[in-house]
Amino acid sequence: MSEYAIQRKANLDTFTPNKVQFYESDSLHAILIGATKAVLQYDLKDRTKVFKTEQLGDYRLPEYGLVNYLPDKESEDDISPLFRRENIRYMDFACGTGLLAQNLAPYIKSGTVIGIDISEAQIDAFKSKIPAIHSLNPRLVVKPYKYDIIDPEFNRENHLEVPQELQYGSFDIITTTLSFHHFSALKQIVVELKKYLKKDGCLIVVDMYDHKDEYKSVQGAAETNLTSAVAHNGGLSPKQMHEKLDPIGFSSVETGIKYLYEHWCNHQNLYNHLPPPVVAKALKSAPKRQRAGQTEYLVTRSLVLAICRK
């Protein structure tokens, strides 16, 4: 079994139907609201506005206080021009349960939304959202697929055919949200995603970053963990993200910390995602709550935004 296949299995073992059922927490919804705004504004002329670091919501408020956070659909100053065009093509890669596509649906004038994920449980959850997405925007074609874009053997073993919508040079934007830290074959995946973009199309990445490089006790640790669902514990800093994306040959790569936020994490999330010093501090002194029969700890985290233009 290849290193990539080993790490993919760890992901599939983690994202079981039971796990997916409790995946959409209030914290996750808040993060996806932030990611939605970042995607909507990816192509604004004011790059300072695009990459301005913001505090994302307040965990003490219902829905993190983000009910009216997203821009007005008619606001030309706050929404990228792409979303006012007809028939755009958008791929959400490692799409999860479809929350981002659902959030973006009212802003897309018309077009095709393709979700790609290796987890059948995630794809099933996405499919369950299609009626709601169509109610938000009946002019969208929405199709989520279980598929691995870099491993034909996995697709053969699981009797998965290439989605007919998955064509090189055909997508205006591709998003990948809260997933980069799961990719052991990161370069291979991004090289393939770049092929699917139109000329001047953009890959938009939003991912967690937990400042692992600031802790001496974890510096020098193995960069990629092949036995965990989280290949990059602590995530990638803007600098690390840029160093990985720039050699792939995009015409431009921009990175920065977009959000600071408060995240409720259970034990598994803590140990999989966060540097050991942060885990120890959280277990000792962080605010706690009970959700779905598990103890969750409140930790401060960052979200990195990367925008790569073909």
Domain assignment present for residue 293? The answer is: no
Domain assignment present for residue 219? The answer is: no
Query: Hey, what amino acid is at 178?
Result: L
Residues 226-243 pLDDT 10s: 566 676 777 899 999 999
Strands 294-309 and 197-209: antiparallel
Domain assignment present for residue 247? The answer is: yes
Residues 158 and 121: their CA atoms lie apart, in Å, by 14
Residues 6+ apart with CB under 8 A from 178: 31, 35, 96, 206, 207, 208
Phi first, then psi: what are they for 81, rounded to 5°?
Answer: -55, -30
47 or 24, which is more confident?
A: 47
pLDDT of 226:
56
Residues 81 and 291: their CA atoms lie apart, in Å, by 40
Domain assignment present for residue 267? The answer is: yes
The model's pTM is 0.94
pLDDT of 239:
95
Domain assignment present for residue 180? The answer is: yes
Residues 53-91 pLDDT 10s: 999 999 999 999 999 999 999 888 999 999 999 999 999
Q: Which two tokens stand for residue 104?
A: 């973006």
Instruction: Work out the end-to-end distance of the chain between its first and last CA atoms, rounded to an integer number of angstroms.
Output: 33
Domain assignment present for residue 132? The answer is: yes
Domain assignment present for residue 290? The answer is: no
Instruction: Give me the CATH number covering residue 266.
Output: 3.40.50.150
Question: Across the chain, what does the average pLDDT equal?
Answer: 92
Domain assignment present for residue 74? The answer is: no
* Residue 251, domain extent: 3-69+80-212+224-283+302-309
Residues 306 and 267: their CA atoms lie apart, in Å, by 28
| For residues 132-142, average pLDDT | 97
Chain-centroid distance, C-alpha 211: 18
| For residues 242-271, average pLDDT | 95
- The total domain count for the chain is 1
